[in-house]
Structure 1
Amino acid sequence: MDSKFFKDLFKKYYEKIFDNYKIIEKEFNINKNQYIEINLDKNIYYNVFNINNSEVKIRINNNDTSMIYNEFNIIGKVKINILINNSGNLRIYNLYKVNSNSSSDSIEKIYNKNNVVLISKIFIDKNSENSEGKLSQYLFEENGISILLPILDIENNKSKGFHGSKILKLTEKEENYLRYLSLNKEEIKNILMREFNFI
């Protein structure tokens, strides 16, 4: 892992507050279905996930001012389901690197109560043929500010990438109907939050 490159990159683009943060590096080799929970604090996290024909579920909890970089190296058929539960200030960068004859189906669910910047990139190298990357993002915002930037970087014309996003928010008409059914604000929120359960 090249943490110096990572540190220099983020020094250029992110706030000075992160300059004195410690970088915590971790590598995961995943060959079977797995659940991982990551609790953040005042550090910069640099994670590499080497995933081979598996499904991984990752829950990221943040109550502080934190930054996390996740690099996913995808081999074979891979499904990634990420739940981000943020009530602090979070900067997150997800890089999905899809290898030859591989496919990734990645879902990012963001429950934001404060401030989050999420940059997610699907990258397929020019030498990676017959590959496919898919990214779906779901955002539920509760009095927060969210900036989501999805990027598709497909260098091989025999491969393809897809992106879709959805903001979970009721229209006034839908909310009035649910209130008519005698549901209070908390119950309505719980209905929306069902989308955030791992499937």
Structure 2
Amino acid sequence: MNLSKIKRKYRCASFAIWDGDLGYSSIEKNKKLLHSRAVIVGLNASAKIKPFENFHKKHRGGRDAWLREAFGESVIRGAYMTDIIQNDFSVRESEVDLSNSNITRNVERFRNELQDVKAKSPFIVVIGKKAYDILVANFTTYSIYKIPHYAKLGITKKKFMSSVKKVLNRYRNQNN
């Protein structure tokens, strides 16, 4: 996997690997653990970010630490992480441009991204319903599993972790 190319080409890209905090320096230090057998996909980055900061940024009220806790030491540790919509940095999900033309453009970009990270038939974990709906409508040959968004109104850490655990068990069962 060419980290320099990913860093340059996909600003929303990251990997499911963290240091003790939410920092992203562990990505560069642990290149051997990075893979695309599993891909974790969100809807959009809610801010313009530096390379590999997505899903690793500390921000007020954020629950990104739940991702670290859920995936950091799991069977998919080191998995590729990205967003399906990469040209919209809306903070609110309801404001993300989900027009047919924007979805089509981003789906094609995502197909190229999967090729670039050499994800041949990845196990895809999707964060949130809107991102899930886009992926299942456009990627019918992949194994796609939904978990709730960690910032969803009313979601508890216990419910979130339980959903992730179920998906990780499916991954384990498929890869034994």
TM-score by length of 1: 0.25
Bigger proportion of residues as helix: 2
Bigger proportion of residues as strand: 1
Higher RCO (C-alpha 8 Å, min separation 6):
2
